[in-house]
Structures are given as structure tokens and as C-alpha cells.
Structure 1
Amino acid sequence: MNIVESVVTQIQGLSSSATDIAALHTYLKQADESLHTESARLLPFLDHLDPSIHSLGFSLSVYCRLVVSVCKRFKDQVMLLKAPMQGVAAMLSAVRKLQSSSAHLTTLHPEFLQLCLLSKSYKTGLSVLEDDIFEVDQPRDLFLYCYYGGMMCIGQKRFQKALELLHNVVTAPMSSINAIAVEAYKKYILVSLIHQGQFSTSLPKYASSAAQRNLKNFCQPYIELANSYSTGKIAELETYVQTSREKFESDNNLGLVKQVLSSMYKRNIQRLTQTYLTLSLQDIANTVQLNSPKEAEMHVLQMIQDGEIYATINQKDGMVRFLEDPEQYKTCEMIKHIDSSIQRMMELSKKLTTMDELMSCDPLYLAKAGRERQRFDFDDFDTVPQKFNI
């Protein structure tokens, strides 16, 4: 039994007489430091307490709710003043104080990320997105945290991390489709096309049945965009974007859609590297339907800079020479990077093992797992975007 459950049990058991109240007061004084550390976790347990019976214990729990309420009112005020930047530092401080650990997602996380988005304080927001979350008080907080976090990563063009967060929204347990999941799925499609050059409409088997059945129906224009993208024909894709422009604009996704269009040029150039060793800028422009060799050169140079292709350009004759990946995976920097990734995976593995052991003893989980066993096998592979790319 953890400290929070122990406290609630003591409050329920020591609230019937003056002697009990005195004993409870002593107990709560002794547990003061632990209560402060675990304060955010008390919120979900308020429903187990009756203010008329457990007034002493309830008052300690209520202060957490008051802190959250004050912080949310504060956020509403800076929003009303159209000055979200003024609330970022204070909200981050509140988040850190309410957290029992860096793995704990509080109800203030989404509020903080929303302020960061509105004030374009992306780097500040990214500071909380680096934490691995294992404890969540309310499901809605997780949906909003991952959705806002995905938008923030998109703003910084950290598409791999954005895919991971949006994937979490789309595959999170849900009994019915919610608006957050629908909007996340739209962006998930677009970011997949931009970053990976493809999109699969098949959700993993562990995604909720509600998501499996309904998400595609709410996102048909985006599904059709992905289908058009897969043909590799830029003219057809441009035509479709123009005919559906109003829909994308009303969803506030037109900027991402334009990036999808731009990424098709890159994908088509990358395909050329698999066929040719050398090619003129004029041929590249003709093949991928760019307006001029100069425009082709700009795309190639940007892709070289971003590490998306390896090539050299001869300015005299306008020829592009495609090269092999020069990375030999034997530099000190690469070894450190690999070692860091391995260490992180080992730490995550330990945490997962601990969580698995705890869940294996939970009667409610065991009962549900027995009912759900036929839905999927543990051999089904996860399609979550990989986080440990080397």
C-alpha cells in the first residue's frame, strides 16, 4: 500500500471519535513531509472521503484542488489579457511543485503546454516533454498533454517526437471517440507523410475498438490526401489540395498540408538516388516536376543540409552526384549516442518490469485481461514511431 492509500485508510478509520481525531492529527503531522511530496496524487482519492465525516483529512486533500483551481484561474486571466507569455514561468513552477516525480503527469501539464503554444515558447514547453510519463491522474490530461505536445514538436519540426505523442493520443484507451483524438489523427496523418513519406490506415490491435471503427470516418479528406500522396504524382496532389483547401484551412492544418506538398518533391528526389549515380539538375527538375534547375538545386542543397540525402553538386556543368551514407558508426560521438540509447532502454525495461509485476497482482486488471485476451496476441508488433533511431 502506498502512502496515499495508507493516509486515506487512516482518515477513514480514525474519524469517529475525539480520541480517533487526536490520533489522526498526530498521524497526519508525522506524515506531513510525505503528504507534501505526494500531494498531487491525493486528488483522485477525494471521492473516497466524506467532508462531513472526514473533515480533518478532507481539508488536507482539498488544498491540492485549490492550488489547481487557482492555477487554472490564473491561466484563464492571462488568456483573457492576451498575454500567455506572462503565465508560462509561473505555470511551469506549479507543475514541478505538484509533481510527485518527473514521471507523474499532473492536471496542470496541459494548461502549461497550451500557454507555451499560444506564446510560441516552444523550447520551454519541450522541457516537460522530455520526461517519460508513467503515472496519470486523469485520462483527459494525457490526451491533451500528448496533443499539445505534438503540436509543439511540429512547431519545432521535431516530427519524430510529434509522431510519438500523436500516436499515443490515437491509440490511448477510449470508450467512445473524442474530439481530441480526431484532431490528433488528422495531424498524425500529415506528419507521417512529411516525416516518413507514407501513411498506413491500419491501427495497432491494442488501439481501442472505438478508434478502430470510427477515426477514419471523421478524417476522410486526410485519408484521401494520403492516398493521393502515395501515387507520387505532384500535379494530382496539388489539385486535390486545392479542391479541399477550405476543409484543411478550417481545421487549421493548411500549413501542414503545404509541408506535405513540399515533402513530395523530397520523396521523389530520394527515389532518384536509388536509381542514378549522377543526374543533371535539369533532369531532376523535369522528373519531379519542379519549375527550373535552380529550384531543383535549392531542394537538393536543403536535403543535403538536413542529412536526407548524400550528394555533391558540380556548379560548372549542373550535375548532381549521389553518394553513399558516409557514417561508419565508429566515431566517439556515435558510440556515446549508442551507449546513451542502450542505457535509456535498459532503464525503461526495468520500469516496465516493475509495472508488469504490480499489474499482475491487480484483481481488476486480471479480470479485464481475461476478457480482452482474444482481441490480440502479445506477438503483435507495435507500430509506434520508434524513439531510439540511431
Structure 2
Amino acid sequence: MSSVEAVIKSIQGLSASSRDLSALHDVLKVANESLRADSDLQLSTLDQLDPSKHSLGYLYLLDVLTCGPVPNEVVLLIARFINACDAVQIRLASEKFVSLCKRFKDKVLELRDPLRGVAPLLKAVHKVQVSTKRLTALHPDCLQLCLLAKCYKAGFSVLSDDILEVDQPRDFYLYCYYGGMICIGLKRFQKALELLYNVVTAPMHIVNAIALEAYKKYILVTLIHSGQFSVNLPKCASSAAKTHFKTWCTPYIDVGMCYNDGKISELEAVVVANSSDFEKDKNLGLVKQAVSSLYKRNILRLTQKYLTLSLQDIANMVQLPNAKEAEMHVLQMIQDGQIHALINQKDGMVRFLEDPEQYKTSEMIEIMDSAIQRKIRLSKNLLDMDESLSCDPLYLGKVGRERQRYDFGDDFDTVPQKFAM
């Protein structure tokens, strides 16, 4: 009996119970190197196994068969395996499963068909994820495919969970960066800002490329969503970010400063002067959205001063080319719920109205309840994490060592004479 036949028999006989699976895992780990050198192992060998019943063994063999260049025909085979495999079994060898899924992602990108990988990677994330709080190594890959395939809604579904546990910082950076771009695609700017903020303020000793690109988008999304830019980073940002972001993101900071002044002509001049940089960064479309949002901000300011205005007056005041352009902006703002107004088509007059929302409809109550429930869940998760840390021997040992290192006794709060004012 060849080594491949022996492994197949082991897989078929030891895939029924958790004890058998543990024994099978030991067999597969021992046989892994010999399988790589065995010419008897072919794709047709997998026909002897059921990917849903023999998931662990199937994973090991498929991993060996795809360790080199991945043939085109294997793409469908991997997709079917991801869909059919048993989550409990593949989690026993989660690193191999993640590696296989990453090869699958690379192959669909090589084929220039990211859409083909979206559904399998969505399924893979849920199968390898032990808890919805935990970020997996597949989250960024899944979001990247959703972004490239323009499946923004599918990508947004991955972002619905509150991530509290992270193994690799780079995975977290990419998760938030790709997630922020997906939210931009859906015009969910508040969520995009939250995700990009996580990257910009993450601890870092040196500025990485992901954080730098995130900061450029963070500036533009801040302008679109909040209408105000601050050159000073949040206090929680690292010193490396505070030092280098300003140097490497000058065109974006210039856009933000001109936006604050509210002068369209100066802002457009800055955009034209730096258009090659924005285009190279693939941010020109987002920059144009920021410029457009300044027109809307200026119109919004008019609603706080006037009850009625003509469309031509609005065009003049916010530096739009003509009344027709002003009408398009006002209509879009009404549709988006940014302002409440009525346009008289006959005389071209706009009447600004009060917000009719009384915050007592069933839809609004559901929105408020959903927000409250999310805050409650986050609070509970933080309390659980705090309790877990307070019982962790490694954490307590480290804290104890730090206390000994900095323990100055009962007079710790007393100011020494040489520092007294």
C-alpha cells in the first residue's frame, strides 16, 4: 500500500469523532512532508473523499496539491471545498485553511475575476472565525475582493461586527483601510471615518504605507462628513504619525485648510495644482466629492440666515456657475435629507423649512434602539475583557513587575524639593 493510500484510509476511518480527529491530525502532520514528494497524489485522489465529512484530511491534501502554481481548474475545486467543509474540522488546522484561501484569492486576482472569490471568502471568514469579536487573517482578503469586485454591500456585511480581538496589527490596518473604502463606495461616510480613524490613531513606531494612505482618505472623508478639518491629529495618535503625516500629505492638508476658509475658487485652484498627486493616489474622485460638499456646506449656511432665496442668488453666493447648477445641488440636498426646502419652479424661489422629524416614528425608534443595544453590547464586551485581564496570570505578573520597578513608597505623590515651585 502506497503512502497516499494509507493516508486516504486514515482520513476515511478517523473523521467521525473529536478523539479520532485528534489522532488523524497527528497522522497528517507526520505524513505531510512525504505527501509533498509523492507522485501518486493527484487531484483525482480527492474524489475518494467527501469534503464535508473528511474536511481535515481533504484540507491537508488540497494544501499539498496547491503549494506550487495553482492550476485554473483548481479554483472551482477550492471554492466548493470552502462551501462544503466542516468548520470544526478546518479550525484544527486553521493556518493551512487560511493559507489555502489566500492562494485562492491570489489566483482569482491573477485571473482578473475578483467577483468569483467574493462568496467563497465570505463563507471562509465565518467558518474560520471562532467569535464575531475576533479579527481573522481572512477579513482583509475578503474585503479586498469585495472592493475590487465593487460588491460593497457584501463587504459591508463583514463590517457589521464590533472587532475587539486582533492577532496581527497589519490585518487590522488592512481591515479598517479596505473597510473604509467600501463605506466610501456606499457613501456611509460616518462608518468610513470611524474605520480610517482606527488606522490613523493606531500605535506605530514608524509610519507604514497603509496608515499613510488611510490618513489621506481620512482628511477627505472628514471634509465630506463633518465639513471641518483640523491639522492637529487626535491626542491618541502616535508621535510617528504626528511627525510624518504632515510632511507626506501636504496636498491633502492644503485642501483641508482651503476648505475651512470656505472659498471655492481657492479650493479648486489647490485641486488643479495637485491633481496629478490625487490621481496617482486614486483619490481624485474623492477630492471632487469634497469640493462638491463645500458647495453644499455653503448652501447649508444660507439656510441659517435666510427663509427664502432665489436660485440665482444661491448660485451667486456659493460661486456656482448658474441657477440650474444651484437647483441641482438643492434638490440633491433635499433628497439626502441635508436640508428641508421647497422650490417654486415658476419664479425660481427656494423656501427653507424647519426639520419635520419629530423623532417619534417607529422607524426612528428602531434606529435609536439599535444604537442603544450596540452601546450596551460594547460596554458588556469591555467589562468582560477587563474581568478576563484581571484574572490573567501573565498580565498580573507583568503589572506586578512594573509596580516594583516604579514603586516609590508612600511619598510618591510628594513633590521633591528641587522640583517644587
Superposition TM-score, scaled by structure 1 size: 0.78
* Structure 2 residue aligned with 1:90: 120
C-alpha distance in 1 between matches for 2:91 and 2:379:
34
* Structure 2 residue aligned with 1:29: 19
Q: CA offset at residue 75 of structure 1?
A: 0.9
C-alpha distance in 1 between matches for 2:330 and 2:402:
51
Q: CA offset at residue 369 of structure 1?
A: 8.9
* Structure 2 residue aligned with 1:363: 396
Root-mean-square deviation (Å): 2.4
| Deviations 1:130-170 (CA, angstroms, capped at 9, x unpaired) | 11101111111000000000011111111111001000111
Ranges of 4+ aligned residues in structure 1 off by more than 3 Å: 363-372
| Deviations 1:161-185 (CA, angstroms, capped at 9, x unpaired) | 1001000111112121100000000
C-alpha distance in 2 between matches for 1:159 and 1:74:
31
* Structure 2 residue aligned with 1:102: 132
- Cα 1:365–1:268 shift into 2, 3 Å: farther
Report SS of the residue matched to 1:104.
coil
C-alpha distance in 2 between matches for 1:336 and 1:121:
27
Q: CA offset at residue 217 of structure 1?
A: 1.7
Which one of 186, 207, 215 corresponds to residue 185 of structure 1? 215
- Cα 1:220–1:324 shift into 2, 3 Å: same
C-alpha distance in 1 between matches for 2:366 and 2:279:
44
Contact 1:359 1:365 in 2 (8 A): no
Per mean C-alpha deviation after superposition, the further-off stretch among 115-124 and 199-208 is 199-208
Report SS of the residue matched to 2:371.
helix
* Structure 2 residue aligned with 1:164: 194
| Deviations 1:234-262 (CA, angstroms, capped at 9, x unpaired) | 11111111111111111110010111111
Contact 1:360 1:366 in 2 (8 A): no
Which one of 196, 201, 218 corresponds to residue 231 of structure 2? 201
Counterparts of 1:203-242 in structure 2, within 5 Å, are: 203-242=233-272
Q: Aligned residues: percent identity?
A: 64
Contact 1:99 1:105 in 2 (8 A): yes
Counterparts of 1:1-390 in structure 2, within 5 Å, are: 29=19, 63-361=93-391, 362-363=395-396, 366=399
Structure with larger RCO (C-alpha < 8 A, sep 6+): 1
Q: CA offset at residue 335 of structure 1?
A: 2.1
- Cα 1:31–1:66 shift into 2, 3 Å: closer
Q: CA offset at residue 29 of structure 1?
A: 2.7
- Cα 1:30–1:328 shift into 2, 3 Å: farther
| Deviations 1:161-219 (CA, angstroms, capped at 9, x unpaired) | 10010001111121211000000000000011111111122222222222222222221
Number of residue pairs aligned between Structure 1 and Structure 2: 321
Contact 2:91 2:128 in 1 (8 A): no
Which blocks of at least 5 consecutive residues in structure 2 are unaligned?
Answer: 1-17, 26-55, 57-89, 407-421
- Cα 1:313–1:196 shift into 2, 3 Å: same
C-alpha distance in 1 between matches for 2:294 and 2:340:
18
Letter matched to residue 29 of structure 1: R
Which blocks of at least 5 consecutive residues in structure 1 are unaligned?
Answer: 1-27, 40-59, 373-390
- Cα 1:219–1:365 shift into 2, 3 Å: farther
Report SS of the residue matched to 1:320.
strand
Report SS of the residue matched to 2:219.
helix
Report SS of the residue matched to 1:175.
coil
Letter matched to residue 336 of structure 1: E
C-alpha distance in 1 between matches for 2:178 and 2:278:
19
* Structure 2 residue aligned with 1:385: none
Letter matched to residue 289 of structure 1: Q
Contact 1:313 1:320 in 2 (8 A): yes
Q: CA offset at residue 314 of structure 1?
A: 1.2
* Structure 1 residue aligned with 2:3: none
C-alpha distance in 1 between matches for 2:233 and 2:149:
34
